[in-house]
Amino acid sequence: MSPGRIGAPVHVPGPDGPWDGVRASMDRHGNAVVHTNWGEWLPAVLAMPGLRGLLGADWERYRRTADPVVRHRFAVSRLTLKFTAAAALRADPAGLDLAYRLGGRPYLRGLGQIDVSLTHTDDLVAVGLSRNGRIGVDAEPTGRAMDFELLHGHVCTPAERAALESLPPAARSARMLRLWTLKEAYTKALGQGLRLGFTEFGFGPDSDGLLAPDGREATRGEWAFATHGVLGRYLISVACHDCGLEPSTDTAAHTMLDGGFMGAVTELLGEG
């Protein structure tokens, strides 16, 4: 995957779509990012028949969450992920099984070729999908202040710190916020979260590649990164890895099922 080969985030205001942008991005780039205001989805989610079946194993967590805002935001985020995946896979969202790895990273059970990432902040929900390799998505409000003196020792490599010191305060804070979301997206794609120190890798002003702490190129183009402003008040950063395998342009769910998963199903059916 060459730098810049990440689809621009698609705004989808509800379960009914429009979803054409997701399918077009998957066809062109092998990845797609969807964002929405969770309040846009809320009326449809509250009136949605079969909500329990759509939430699946997440139903009990939804039902036990006492705070209605937290409960509804949780439901919207999971359904946004399921409906986005269903659009990309041309599948029924009720037929997709959302599960979680250690650490809480979501995945689609039985569809290991599709990687997913989920993030939310304030009223924004964003979902990323990729058929080429790992994907990570992170978002922050653009107004979030980043204190350089307080945070540079925890966020910046020496090369990033040197570049930031030459900027005026407002530009420095904005650049740090961009770096923060890129680093969150990258560590989410790796499945490491905050366990990977942010001072151990860096980014240049153009986001085109991963850099070593001293500012040298750290990869050979297998990672791509992008940052976008959305809804006039949020920043979304995306990290995508290309495994180097022959990409499949057919992302219909029935052609993306894991062979091991299908083998286990066949074996269980044979025992029945």
Answer yes or no: is 247 within a domain.
no
Identify the domain containing residue 145 by its residue range. 134-242
Answer yes or no: is 229 within a domain.
yes
CATH no. for residue 12? 3.90.470
Alpha helical stretches, state H, 56-168: 59-64, 68-89, 148-155, 158-165
On whether both 235 and 148 belong to a single domain, the answer is yes
Is residue 271 pLDDT above 90, yes or no? Answer: no
On whether both 95 and 139 belong to a single domain, the answer is no
Q: What tokens were used for 10?
A: 């698609």
Answer yes or no: is 116 within a domain.
no
State pLDDT tens for residues 1-55: 444 489 999 999 999 999 999 999 999 999 999 999 999 999 999 999 899 999 9
From the list 138, 119, 127, 140, the residue with the least C-alpha distance to 31 is: 127
On whether both 166 and 102 belong to a single domain, the answer is no
Answer yes or no: is 26 within a domain.
yes
Is residue 261 pLDDT above 60, yes or no? Answer: no
The total of structural domains in the chain comes to: 2
